[in-house]
């Protein structure tokens, strides 16, 4: 019984400070109203707590890439990361790519210009994976692009258009022109 009380005390005092799309949030961990459960994934918290539904839940097992976000500059599968593990982290979702005026990120524009989507469900994950790649390597080879996107699946078979979108973004230098 004492172990349960120790565990409950930890939940009552645990906080998570997380930056999402440039805004800092302070979350309490626990089982009460207005708290996040210790078992909540980052995906769950983004969608259910913050209403950031651009991040999609596909397989919920880390196999499809639909839930990809950028954490501290790296593409991660948000369904495989617990929110409590995100203390002090910077998260960018698809909603965070637009500037303050609602202007699309150059990569988003490239996806639109090349119709690199069909149903659009996998598109946010592909864009976020691509964004992380281009931030790390602004001039990737076709092989590097394919490797980076190897964990993102599209059932509509729009991968060829995604390659075109990335090629366009690389040619433009990922600028907003």
CATH code for the domain of 128:
1.10.150.120
| Residue 173 predicted with pLDDT over 80 | no
| Residue 7 predicted with pLDDT over 70 | no
| Residue 105 predicted with pLDDT over 90 | yes
Please report, rounded to a whole number, the percentage of residues in the chain having pLDDT higher than 70. Answer: 90
In which band, very low, low, confident or very high, does the pLDDT at 100 lie, cut at 50, 70 and 90?
A: confident
Q: Is residue 160 within 8 Å of 154, Cβ to Cβ? A: no
84: domain range? 2-93
Is 100 part of a structural domain of the chain? no
Please tell me whether residues 70 and 110 are part of one structural domain: no
Rounded to two decimals, what is the model's pTM?
Answer: 0.88
Buried b (16+ CB within 10 A) or exposed e, 39-56: ebbbbbbbbebbebebbb
Please tell me whether residues 110 and 78 are part of one structural domain: no
| Residue 1 predicted with pLDDT over 50 | no
| Residue 137 predicted with pLDDT over 80 | yes
DSSP single-letter state for residue 117: -
Instruction: Tell me which of 93, 120, 151 is where a domain ends.
Output: 93
If phi > 0 it is left, if psi is from -120 to 50 it is alpha, else beta; for residue 103 that is beta
d(CA 53, CA 68): 12
Is 129 part of a structural domain of the chain? yes
Alpha-helical (H) ranges within 62-158 are 106-113, 123-136, 142-148
d(CA 131, CA 109): 12
pLDDT at site 156: 84
């Amino acid at each position: 019984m004492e172990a349960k009380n120790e565990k409950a005390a930890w939940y009552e005092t645990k906080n998570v400070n997380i930056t999402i799309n440039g805004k800092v949030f302070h979350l309490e961990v626990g089982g009460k109203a207005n708290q996040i459960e210790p078992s909540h994934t980052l995906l769950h918290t983004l969608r259910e707590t913050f209403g950031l539904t651009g991040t999609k839940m596909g397989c919920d097992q880390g196999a499809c890439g639909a839930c990809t976000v950028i954490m501290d500059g790296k593409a991660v599968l948000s369904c495989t990361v617990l929110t409590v593990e995100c203390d002090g982290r910077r998260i960018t979702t698809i909603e965070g790519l637009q500037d303050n005026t609602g202007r699309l990120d150059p990569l988003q524009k490239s996806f639109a210009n090349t119709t690199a989507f069909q149903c659009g469900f996998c598109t946010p994950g592909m864009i976020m994976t691509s964004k992380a790649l281009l931030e790390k390597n602004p001039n990737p080879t076709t092989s590097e692009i394919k490797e980076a996107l190897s964990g993102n699946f599209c059932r509509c078979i729009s991968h060829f258009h995604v390659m075109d979108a990335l090629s366009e973004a690389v040619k433009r230098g990922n600028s907003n022109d």
